[in-house]
Structure 1
Amino acid sequence: MTASDRLSPEQLRTLFLFESLDESQLAWLAERGRVERRAGGSDVYSEGDPATCFFVLLSGAVTLSRGLHGDDIEVTRTDQRGVYAGATQAYLGDRVDQVYPNTLRAVSDAEFFVLPADEFAVAIRTWFPMALHLLEGLFFGTRAANTLINERERLLALGSLSAGLTHELNNPAAAAVRATEALRDRVAGMRHKLALIADGRLDGTKLHSLVELQDAAVKQAAAATPLPALAAADAEDELGDWLDEQGVTNAWDLAPALVAGGIGLPWLATVAEAVGDEHLDSAVRWLAYTVDTELLMGEIDDAVTRVSDLVGAAKQYSQLDRAPQQTVDVHALLDATLTMLRAKIPATVRIVKEYDLTLPRIPAYGAELNQVWTNLIDNAVAAMSGKGTLTLRTWRDGERLLVEVADTGTGIPPEVRPRIFEPFFSTKAVGEGTGLGLDISYRIVVNKHHGDIRVDSRPGDTRFQVCLPITPEPDAPDPAQAV
C-alpha cells in the first residue's frame, strides 16, 4: 500500500467524524485505513453481502438504496464529504447479522476512506466503552420499541381502513341482494301474466303490438329521469286514478313503478287501445312488471359498479401490482385516499376539491404518497372535531407540484408547531396517536421524493402544503450526515 493509498492523521482530522480524536487515535486509524476509488455507476457494496468494511466519503456523489420485492428503492443521495456507511453495526458483533443493510452506489467517480469492520469494532469498543453501552442499549431498545409500535401502527391503520372499506362495500352489496330478491318476484309475476295474456284470448296482432309496447317501455324506463318527490307523488295520484277508472285492480301498487319508468297517461291510453278493455288489467300488470324489472336491473348494475369502484380505489390506494416508483396522477391518489377514509369522515365535514386538472403526472412512489395523504387528512378531520370544511387543493409553481390539505379546525399552537414533524411527538390525547404520522410523511416527501412539506396554521385555517418535483432531481443533495 503506497502513501497515496493512505490518509495522514492531519487529513483524517478534516473529516467531521474524526475531528475530536486525539493524535494516537488518528495515527491508529491512518495506519489501518486505506483510500479506495470507485468509478461512477459502480456499486461500492451490495445489500446482503457480508459487512467487511466501514466507508467514509472523501469526494464524489453516492446513493443508498434498499431492495423491496425485487425493486431497487433509493433511500438517499448525497455528495457531502465525510458521510459514512457500511459496517456501522460491527461493534455489536455476532448479536446481529453482519451484512450490509443496503446498497451503496457511486453516482460519479468517488473516493472513500475504508476501515476494515473488525478494526472499526475494536476502535468503538476500546475508545468509547461508555458510549458502546449506550449505543447497544439504544440499538436493541429502539429496535424492539419500533417493532411493537410499527406493528400496532400497521394494525390500527389496516383495521381502520378495513372497517371503512367493509362498511362502504356493505351498502351496495346489500342493495344488490335486495334488488335481486325483488327481481326474482317480478320475473315470476311476468311469467304468470304472460300466460294469461297469451292463452289464446288475445289475438296475434294485439299480442304483437303489446310486445312492441313492452320493448318501448324498457327503453323508456332506461332513459327515464327521476322526478322530484312532489312531482312524482302527483304523477302517481293521477296515474292511479286513471287506472282505477279503467277497472285495474290494486292500481296504487302499480302506479309508483310506472311513474319511475317514465310511463304517463298518453302511453297507457295507447296500451288500452292495443289490447282492449278486457285485457287491460293483465297487460298493465305485465308492463308494470317489465318496467320494475328494468329498474331493478339498473339498481343491481349501479350497486355492482359501486363495488367495482371501491375495489379499484382500494387497489389504487395500496398500489397493488404496480412498481414502487411510477408516473402517477396525484388527483387519482387523493380521490382513492378519500374513498378509503370515507367511513372515518363524518357527514358534518364538508369536502371541497380545488384541483388543477391540467397538472401533469409526476414520477413518485404512489403507495407512500397515499400514506402522506392519509396522515394529513386524518389529522385534519381530527382537528375539526367532526364539523368543518376539509379542502384539497392542487396547483403548479414552476417545476413543482403543490398539494394542500386545509381544515377549519382549532389550529396548531405556535409553541408546538416547530416540533410537529418530530418522531413520537403528538398533540393528540394519550392513546389516540403514536406521533409518527407527520414524521413518516416528512421523510417520504423530503427524503424520498426530494420535495418539501410545510405548515401554516391559525385558528380556523390550518394548511399543510406538500411540494413535489414534477421532474426527477437526480443530483438533489441529502442534508443528513450519514447515508
Structure 2
Amino acid sequence: MGAVTPAPLTLEELRLVDLFDDIDDGLLGEWLQIAQLECRDAGELIVEQGAALAGVHLLLEGTAQTIKVLGERTEPVGDQHAPTWMGAIGTLTRTPLSVRMVARTECRLALLPADDFLRLALAQPPVHARVMHQVAPVMQRVASIEAGRDRLESLGTMAAGLAHELNNPAAAAKRAAAQMADALDILSASLGSFVDAGVERADAQQLVDLQQEALARKCSLTALGALDAADAEDALADRLDELGVSGGWELAEPLAAAGLDEDWLQRLADHSGPGLDGALRWVAASLTARGLALELQESTARMSSLVGAVKQYTYMDRGSLVEADLHEGLETTLIVLGHKLKQTQIQVVRDYDRSLPPLMMRGSELNQVWTNLLDNAIDALGDTGTITITTGWDGPCVVAQVSDDGDGIPADVLPRIFDSFFTTKDVGSGTGLGLATARQIVVDRHAGSLTVDSEPGATTFRVRLPVSGPA
C-alpha cells in the first residue's frame, strides 16, 4: 500500500461509478459507510490471481492492468480506467479472480468488503441487476480470450511439429542437391577426359552400354548385407589398385553398392584403355546422381505429403461445410500429431469400418475435436500404451471412438469433464476449454453427441454424428 494517506471518500465520487447509477443518494450513503479507502503505487499488486476476494474494488483514480498468469509467464489482458468497479462477479459467486490486477499508475481505490457488498447488493436490486447484467459479456470475453489462446497454442504446437517433420526431408533434399552438383561436375569433366584419352567410337559405345548396365543393376539390386557389401568393396578396391587407378577406395563403395563385380570392371578397362580412371569416375558419378535423384524425389514427396496433410486438416479451398470421409480427418490429424507420437512408444491401432458413407461436416471444426481427443489420449498415456481408433455404425448415426489404456479419469472428475474452464492440468498447461469446445462442435454444430466412459485401463470418448450432417 502506498504511503500517502488517501483523501476522504465523498458521495460525489461514488456517484461517478456506474455500479450505482440506478439508486438514490440515500441508498448510496449506505455504500459510503462501508467503503474502505486504499492507495496503490504504480506496479503494486491489487488482487492476486486465484486468491480469495476480499470484496469489490472501486477504482476511483488511476489505471489498473489485468494480467493472466500462465505458469511461469504472464500475458496482459487489458486495462481498467477510473471510475469503474472490479471483482463484483467473483464476490457474488464466491469464486477467486481468474486474473491478476496490478496498478499501472498510482491508484486510489475503495474496497467494499465481501460480506457487506453481498448484503447491500441483495438489498438493493438495481445494484444486483447491474452486476448480473455484466456476467454474460464478461464470461463470453474470458471464454473468447481463453479459446483464442488455446487455438494459438494448438497452432503453435502443430506448427512446431510440422517444422520438425519438414526439417528432416528438407535437410536431406539440401544435402542431395549439393552432392548432385558435384556429381554433375564430374560427369561434365568426363567427356573431356575421354577425348584426351583417344577413346574410339566403338569403345565409347561399349562404355555407354556398361554405364547403362551399371545403372540397371543398381535399380534392380536389393540392399546388400553389411558383411557382403564390405567384402565386395574390398575386392573391387584391390582390383582397382592393381589397375593403377588413383583413389580406388573412393570409387569402390558406389560400384559395390550397385552390384558391380570384377568381370564388369575388366570389361570397362578393356574398352577405356588409358581413360580408365575417367571412365570409372564417370560411372560412379552416374550412380551417385541416380541415387541422389531418388533421394530428392523421396524428400520432396514427403514434404508434399505433409503440406497436403495440412491442407486436408484445415480443409483449405473446400468451404466450411463439406462432404468428406470421416477417416480422412482422423488420418490427417494423426499426421499433424505425428511429431508428438514419435517421442513416445505409444501404439496406434485403427479399427475402421470403411463401408461408412461420406458425411456432410464442418471438416476443419471436426478436426479440432479429433485433435483434442487424440492429444488428450497421448498426454494420458505418457510414454507407453495403446490408442485405439474405432469407427462404425450406432443405429442411424456414425460413431467414432478414441480409446486409451491409461490410468483412466477419476470418478469425481468424470461428471465435470465437459464443463467450461474445468481442467485437471497444472496451472498454465490447460484452460479447460478443449473438451467443452469439442462438445460444442459435436452437439451444437453437428447435431451429434460426445460422451465418455472411463475406468482404469480403459477410457473411451465416443462421438456420434448423424449421417444427414449438420443443419
Q: Same fold (TM over 0.5)?
A: yes
What SS does the corresponding residue of 1:463 show, helix, strand or coil? strand
Looking at both structures, which has the greater relative contact order when contacts are Cα pairs under 8 Å and sequence separation is at least 6? 1
Structure 1 equivalent of residue 443 of structure 2: 446
Verify: 1:462 aligned to 2:443, yes or no: no
What SS does the corresponding residue of 1:444 show, helix, strand or coil? helix
What SS does the corresponding residue of 2:424 show, helix, strand or coil? coil
Equivalent-residue separation in structure 2 for 1:351 and 1:250 (angstroms): 49
Verify: 1:312 aligned to 2:308, yes or no: yes
Corresponding letter in the other structure for 1:369: L
Displacement of 1:404 after TM fit? 2.1
Displacement of 1:311 after TM fit? 0.8
Q: What is the TM-score normalised by the length of structure 2?
A: 0.68
Q: Deviations over 1:44-71 (max 9, x none)?
A: xxxxxxxxxxxxxxxxxxxxxxxxxxxx
Q: Which of 192, 195, 203 does residue 192 from structure 2 map onto?
A: 195
Q: Deviations over 1:431-455 (max 9, x none)?
A: 1111111111111112222222222
Question: Which segments of structure 1 move beyond 4 Å, counting only runs of 4 or more?
Answer: 128-131
CA shift in 2, pair 1:446/1:151, >3 Å = closer
CA shift in 2, pair 1:194/1:396, >3 Å = farther
Structure 1 equivalent of residue 335 of structure 2: 339
Q: Is the 8 A contact 2:193 2:275 kept in 1?
A: no
Equivalent-residue separation in structure 2 for 1:413 and 1:466 (angstroms): 21
Q: Is the 8 A contact 1:222 1:294 kept in 2?
A: no
Q: Is the 8 A contact 2:344 2:382 kept in 1?
A: no
Corresponding letter in the other structure for 1:390: I
Verify: 1:424 aligned to 2:427, yes or no: no
Displacement of 1:190 after TM fit? 1.9
Q: Which of 261, 283, 290 does residue 294 from structure 1 map onto?
A: 290
Displacement of 1:367 after TM fit? 0.2
CA shift in 2, pair 1:234/1:403, >3 Å = farther
Verify: 1:412 aligned to 2:409, yes or no: yes
Equivalent-residue separation in structure 1 for 2:151 and 2:299 (angstroms): 30
Q: Is the 8 A contact 1:183 1:293 kept in 2?
A: yes
What SS does the corresponding residue of 1:176 show, helix, strand or coil? helix
What SS does the corresponding residue of 1:327 show, helix, strand or coil? strand
Structure 2 equivalent of residue 100 of structure 1: none
Displacement of 1:174 after TM fit? 1.1
Corresponding letter in the other structure for 2:447: H
What SS does the corresponding residue of 2:196 show, helix, strand or coil? coil
Structure 2 equivalent of residue 236 of structure 1: 233
Displacement of 1:203 after TM fit? 0.7
Corresponding letter in the other structure for 1:418: P
Equivalent-residue separation in structure 1 for 2:170 and 2:162 (angstroms): 12
Q: Which of 432, 436, 449 does residue 435 from structure 1 map onto?
A: 432
CA shift in 2, pair 1:197/1:396, >3 Å = farther
Verify: 1:268 aligned to 2:269, yes or no: no
Verify: 1:356 aligned to 2:353, yes or no: yes
Displacement of 1:166 after TM fit? 1.3
Structure 2 equivalent of residue 26 of structure 1: none
Displacement of 1:324 after TM fit? 0.8
Q: Is the 8 A contact 2:321 2:363 kept in 1?
A: yes
Structure 2 equivalent of residue 155 of structure 1: 152
Displacement of 1:423 after TM fit? 1.0
Identity %: 42
Displacement of 1:349 after TM fit? 2.3
Q: Any unmatched runs of 5+ in structure 1?
A: 1-127, 475-483
Q: Which of 316, 327, 343 does residue 323 from structure 2 map onto?
A: 327
CA shift in 2, pair 1:412/1:264, >3 Å = farther
Q: Which of 170, 173, 186 does residue 170 from structure 2 map onto?
A: 173
Q: Which of 388, 396, 403 does residue 393 from structure 2 map onto?
A: 396
Displacement of 1:383 after TM fit? 0.7
Displacement of 1:265 after TM fit? 4.3
Q: Any unmatched runs of 5+ in structure 2?
A: 1-124
Equivalent-residue separation in structure 2 for 1:471 and 1:262 (angstroms): 59
What SS does the corresponding residue of 1:199 show, helix, strand or coil? helix
Corresponding letter in the other structure for 1:189: I
Structure 2 equivalent of residue 375 of structure 1: 372
Displacement of 1:473 after TM fit? 7.2
Displacement of 1:365 after TM fit? 1.0
Q: Is the 8 A contact 1:222 1:295 kept in 2?
A: no
CA RMSD of aligned residues (A): 2.5
CA shift in 2, pair 1:297/1:416, >3 Å = same
CA shift in 2, pair 1:455/1:252, >3 Å = farther
Q: What is the TM-score normalised by the length of structure 1?
A: 0.66
